[in-house]
Structure 1
Amino acid sequence: MNKGLKLHKLDPLSKLVALFSVALLAMYWDTPAPLLSLLTVLLVLARYGAGIGWQKLFGRMGYMIIFALPLFVITAISVPGEGARLFPGLPISAGAVSYAAAISLRMFCMFLSSVIYIWSTDPQDFVVIMANRLKLPYRLVYGVSMALAFLPLLEKEGRVHAQARKLRFGRAPRGLRERVMLRRESLIAVFSGAIRRVEQTAGAMEAKGFGAYSSRTYLREVRIERSGYVIMLTSVVLASAMMMF
C-alpha cells in the first residue's frame, strides 16, 4: 500500500461515505450516459488516486464482463422497452438496450468503487474507526476487516498457483479444456488456502481470548482530518444535487 497516494491518506470513514454516495448515484441513474461518466471518473480515481495500475485495473474489470455480458443480453431480450426494433424477428428495442446498458454500467460502477475502497484502506484502520467512531460491535467489524485483508492474499495465492502450474507444464495452456482445468485447479487451491487461513486465524483469535469482553482497547488511533470532513460533506452534497437535478 502506497502511503504517498491521496486516497491512502484519507480515513476509512470519509471514504466509506463517498462510497455510499457513489452507490446511491449508481442506483438512482437509469440511463447509460451519466453512469458512463461516473465510471470514467472512477477509472481515473482508481488509477491516479488509489494507484492501481492500468493492467491490474482492467484485469479486475475483465472479471466483471463475465457477469455483465450475460446480464446485458438477458435484460435486453426480456425487458420490454420503447423505440424501434433493432433486430428483425427479435424483441429487442432501443429502450431495452439502453436500460440493459445502464444495468451493466451500474454493476461496473459499484464494483470499481468497492475495489478502490479495498485497495486504499488499511483493514486495521477500518476496525479502529468503525468501532470507535460509529460504535459498531468490534466482533462484526473484525469480520469485515478480515475479508478486506484476505482478498489480496487469496488473489496472490491464485497467481502463484497459476505460475507454478505453468512451470510444471513448461508451456501455456492450450485449448479450452486445458484452460478450464487450470482455472478449476486454481480455484481449488485458493479455496483450500482460504480454509487454511480461516482455521489459523480462528485458532489465534481463540488463543488470545477474542470476544471474551464486550469492549476492547486499541493501540493505534485513527483521526479524521479536515480533508476527511470535506470529502464526506462534498460527497453527500454532490450526490444529493445530482439526484435532484
Structure 2
Amino acid sequence: MVTLWTNTDRLFFKINPSFKFLISVSLFVVYLVVHNLNSMIWATVLFIVLFLLVNGFSGRFSFWIVLLTLIVSMFSAGAMILFGQGTHVLFHWYLIEITEEGLARGILIGLRTFIFSIIGMIMASTTLPVPFFYSLMQQLKVPVRYAYGCLAAFRMLPMMSEEFVHVRQAMVVRGMTRKKGVRALYDRTKRYALTMLAQSIRRAQRTAVAMEAKRFSMTETRTYYYEIGWSRYDLYFLALILCTVAFGFLLSNWMPLTPFTNVIDN
C-alpha cells in the first residue's frame, strides 16, 4: 500500500494529519450548503489544480483518479438531470425530461460529489497511515485500542490481496476455473468467500491476542514511538485552503459562468 505514494517530500506531508482531517471535514460542511452553481464550478477547478500540485501520487495515477471521480460524479448527477422537474423544458422523450432547472441542480449535485472526492483525495494522497493514526491518538485523543486496531486492519489489506491471489492460483492449478456458467461462478465465489473469511478470522484472533499481550487495552497514559506535533506548515496549509475557498467565491462573483446563483430558488 505504501508504494502508492511516490513523493512524500511535498509540503502537505509535513502538516499535522489530525489538523488536515478536521479542515477536510470543515470543507465538506461548507460546500454542502453552497447552492451557487458558479461557486461550485470555480471551487471544483481550483481544488483540481490544488490536488494535481500537492498530491504524492504519480502523474498517471492522479489522472486516472480524477477521471474515475468525474465519471462517478456524472452518474450521481444523471438522475436529477434526466428526471428533474422544472418549467423550462430543453428535451423531452417519454419518461426523460431535461429542464434548465433540473440540469442546473444535477450539475450542482455532480460537482458536489466531485469536489468532496477531490478534497478526500487531497487528504488521502498526502497522509501516510502510521502518522495519521498516531496523530489521532495524540491530538484527538482517540483511544489506543481503536486507533491501533484500525492501523492493524489497514496493514492487513495487502496481506488479504496477496492471499486472494494465492487462492486463485490454487484453484487454477486444480482446474476449478474451467467450468462456465452461473452455477460455476456461484461455486467459485463461495469458495473464495469461505477461504478468505476463515483466514481473516484466524488472523484477527492472532492479532487480538498479540495486542492484548502488548497491553494495548491499557487506559493509562502511554508513550509513543512517533511524536506528532505542530509546525509552521500547518499555518501555511490553513492559509492556502482559506485562499482557495475565498478565491472560488470571489471568482463566482467576478466571472459568473451561469445565471444560476441559487439552484434551490430557481
- For 1:222, the aligned partner's letter is I
Preserved CA contact (<8 Å) 1:47 1:53: no
1:106 correspondence with 2:112:
yes
- Normalising by structure 1, we get a TM-score of 0.70
1:91 correspondence with 2:97:
yes
Aligned in 2, Cα 1:117/1:197: closer, same or farther, shift over 3 Å?
farther
Query: Which residue of the other structure, out of 12, 17, 41, is the alignment partner of 1:12?
Result: 17
Preserved CA contact (<8 Å) 1:25 1:243: no
The residue number in structure 2 matching 1:25 is 30
Describe the SS at the equivalent of 2:108: helix
Q: Mapping of 1:183-194 within 5 angstroms?
A: none
Aligned in 2, Cα 1:8/1:112: closer, same or farther, shift over 3 Å?
same
User: How far, CA to CA, are the matches of 1:120 and 1:138 in structure 2?
Assistant: 23
CA RMSD of aligned residues (A): 4.5
User: How far, CA to CA, are the matches of 2:204 and 2:62 in structure 1?
Assistant: 27
Describe the SS at the equivalent of 2:216: coil
Q: Mapping of 1:71-220 within 5 angstroms?
A: 71-89=76-94, 90-146=96-152, 153=158, 198=204, 201-220=207-226
User: How far, CA to CA, are the matches of 1:217 and 1:127 in structure 2?
Assistant: 14
User: How far, CA to CA, are the matches of 1:69 and 1:142 in structure 2?
Assistant: 37
Larger % of helix: which? 1
- Offset of residue 223 of structure 1: 1.7
Structure 2 residues without counterparts, runs of 5 or longer: 174-181, 254-266
Preserved CA contact (<8 Å) 1:18 1:236: no
Structure 1 residues without counterparts, runs of 5 or longer: 169-176
Query: Which residue of the other structure, out of 34, 39, 47, is the alignment partner of 1:34?
Result: 39
Describe the SS at the equivalent of 2:109: helix
Identity of aligned residues (%): 21
User: How far, CA to CA, are the matches of 1:198 and 1:30 in structure 2?
Assistant: 45
User: How far, CA to CA, are the matches of 2:61 and 2:244 in structure 1?
Assistant: 29
Describe the SS at the equivalent of 1:91: strand
- For 2:77, the aligned partner's letter is F
